[in-house]
Amino acid sequence: MADDARARWEEAYRAAGDPASARTFSGLPLRSIYTPEDVAGLDYNRDLGYPGEPPTTRGIYPSMYLGRRWTMRQFAGFGSPEETNARFRYLLGHGQTGLSVAFDLPTLMGRDSDDPFAKGEVGRCGVAVDSIADMDTLFGGIPLGDVTTSMTINGPAVIVFAMFLAAAERQGVPWTALGGTLQTDIFKEYIAQREWLYPPRPHLRLIGDLIEFCAREVPRFHPISISGYHIREAGSTAVQELAFTLADGLAYVELGMQRGMAVDAFAPRLSFFFNAHIDLFEEIAKFRAARRIWARRLRDRYGATDERSLRLRFHTQTAGCSLTAEQPENNIVRTAVEALAAVMGGTQSLHTNSLDEVFALPTDRAVTIALRTQQIIAEETGVANVIDPLGGSYFVEALTDQVEAEAETYLTAIEEMGDGSLYEGVLQGIDSGYFMAEIADAAFREQQRFDAADLIRVGVNAYRSDEETPLDMLEIPIETERAKVAGLSEVRGARDRARVGSAIAELTRVAGTDENVMPALLECARASCTEGEMVEAMRVVFGSHPETIRI
Amino acid sequence: MTVRPAPFRVVVAKPGLDGHDRGAKVVARALRDAGFEVIYTGLWQTPASIAEIVLQEDADALGLSCHSGAHMTLFPDVVEELRVRGISDVPLFAGGIIAPGDVPKLAAIGIERCFPPGTPLPDIVGWLTARLEISRGESVADG
């Protein structure tokens, strides 16, 4: 009977013109309909499980959003530490539940505000932090023990974290009360985001030091947020984002184990950061596949037994690269759909982009709309009422399998590049330019599909309009940079020079040994050494790393 | 006998610390595929190093990409470094995260076009080809 029904439908489909089946945004082939046949091999307990149970496909916590909503965490930072402190207080006052610090480019690149290379960049795309004085201002009046603080910083993560810990000391908050996340993911810097200070192996040594230090001294902090967001923004497909990010994450697991730590001693503190792009179901399938691959590999390959080690926790940001300069109000709708994907995919925290971010950092008004978007999804739509609401959908389960299989193919290839080690495989892929070439090819293919109208972006290659809507823009005056440079000069002048000198000398000494670098960095932070001074103190030992150019 | 004109040489440059190179690379590849000779500078160029590359490569055009918000400092500095080297006739264009209000200010210093993220590649290739053919036509007429 079922076969007859299928045959009848197929005939009717052909009679209706036999429309070609579609592809996902990332180019995965789709069927025109999914049926029980597509999920015939699915074993509920083995492949899905109840939420909180391996392989955690349906979610990592038993009660998910019924127990606790996702954290609404808007990434913010611009101009001076004073201005960013005001934005933080504004967001907390409007119901935001966690902080997320955006640093400016000189800070991300390990340079002080008065560095010649910082000219024009100070405070532009985040807040400028040069020394502990800026950290004190940034978190002034915000009880660090009561909020969680996410910091997007990678190459200089250990340095900025040392300043943060020293600032918490001055607030009188014990380190054990501090919760939050550092990004610290250096692999994706070489792969996509392009912000590093040293060659890969010295960076990995610093990351190992940080993981050990946090496990011992700051146990509520997540020392690494393994990030696919930037890989996707650089132009990868959904599958590449997933595969490369998991490869990076598993490589950090191997790093911890190489340093003699038990996998269950640090894996529960690893967290992830994914992109939520515009193809709703492809993204949901990606999040579900991510949890399943991670849980299985941690258990089967790395011998994790603590269920917390198997749980892939992730933050999500909607896709900046999906926003358009044309008809920018439409970006509100795109962001809402992407946020819905993140929520139905089971994210732990979420940043929604603002409609004006294709032009500049967002205004207060635009940020409020973005935050309200999350609140509408949480409070009005009902999508958070049931755990993994799309679980069991023929389509979503089949697509989850498809995304997982494609990602596993990449993981196997990367493992082979490292002779069985993902750690060595990722390093090899960075060294040979493999990741960059894969992403650059995907970015170019995507643009070609838009140019051929195989992909549509409303307002760009369809439904264009000559009407321009003027938007108010956040402007960061050049005086911000002058004031920051002047302030830094005051900090330099007011320091105990002897203490600075000996702290820096000690940092260089420790960098050349296998001692944990965190205590020396903390002393530098307390002595008001600048970020640039600390970076250079270690560069003497670690050296630099040139860019491998691949178009 | 017809002599095929030499391909146009265009420098695609990333000034400053910004690492967002997706757009620069996609545009560089599209221009290359369209028959341009493309010199992509890679990241972390100073205004002086970009001007020096334009000079050394005898470039016909220069494209600047910046997503960090520093364009109102970096782009004028590039223009100044070009001027110091006696270069005033190389067409300049740009891409990245550039507020609409900055576009006329950049036009006033010679950045003729700013292409926002997601601009169809044929728009950029078409504009640059037309722009350079006008320049070439004028220089042939002059000569």
Give how far B15 is from chain A: nearest CA, Å.
10
What angle is formed at CA A404 by the lines to CA A398 and CA A406, rounded to 5 degrees? 105
ipTM comes to: 0.88
Of residues A121, A448, A476, nearest to B17 (C-beta):
A121
- Kindly report the number of other CB atoms within 10 A of residue A345's CB atom: 26
* Whether A125 and B30 lie within 8 Å, measured CB to CB: no
Rounded to whole angstroms, the Cα distance separating A383 from A391 reads: 13
Q: What is the mean pLDDT of chain A?
A: 95
Q: How does residue B142 score in pLDDT terms, banded at 50, 70 and 90? A: low
Rounded to whole angstroms, the Cα distance separating A498 from A495 reads: 9
Rounded to whole angstroms, the Cα distance separating A508 from A523 reads: 13
For A285-322, write each residue's pLDDT tens digit: 999 999 999 999 999 999 999 999 999 999 999 999 99
Q: Which residue spans within A325-482 are E strands per DSSP?
A: 349-351
Return the HEC string of A272-340.
EEEEECCCHHHHHHHHHHHHHHHHHHHHHCCCCCCHHHHCCCEEEEECHHHCCCCCCCHHHHHHHHHHH
Percent of all residues in chain A with a pLDDT value above 90, rounded to a whole number: 90
Closest residue of chain A to B71, computed from CA coordinates: A120
Q: Is B45 helix (H, G, I), strand (E, B) or coil?
A: strand
CB contacts, 8 Å: B21 with chain A:
194, 234
CB contacts, 8 Å: A118 with chain B:
17
Residues 96-125 of A with CB under 8 A from B: 105-106, 108-109, 111, 117-121, 124-125
For A421-455, write each residue's pLDDT tens digit: 999 999 999 999 999 999 999 999 999 999 999 99
Retrieve residue B2's tokens.
């017809």
When scoring A105, A195, A439, A531 by the number of chain B Cβ atoms within 10 A, the one with the most, hence best to mutate, is A105
Of residues A358, A360, A551, nearest to B117 (C-beta):
A358
For A240-287, write each residue's pLDDT tens digit: 999 999 999 999 999 999 999 999 999 999 999 999 999 999 999 999
Q: pTM to 2 decimals?
A: 0.94
For B17-74, write each residue's pLDDT tens digit: 999 999 999 999 999 999 999 999 999 999 999 999 999 999 999 999 999 989 999 9
Is residue A198 within 8 Å of residue A545, measured between CB atoms? yes
A468 Cα distance to chain centroid: 33
Residue type, A213: F
For chains A and B, count residue pairs whose Cβ atoms are closer than 8 Å.
115
Give how far A8 is from chain B: nearest CA, Å.
43
**Which chain B residues have any C-beta within 8 angstroms of a chain A C-beta?**
16-22, 25-26, 28-30, 32, 38, 40, 42-44, 46, 67-70, 72-74, 77, 97-101, 116-118, 120-122
pLDDT at B143: 45
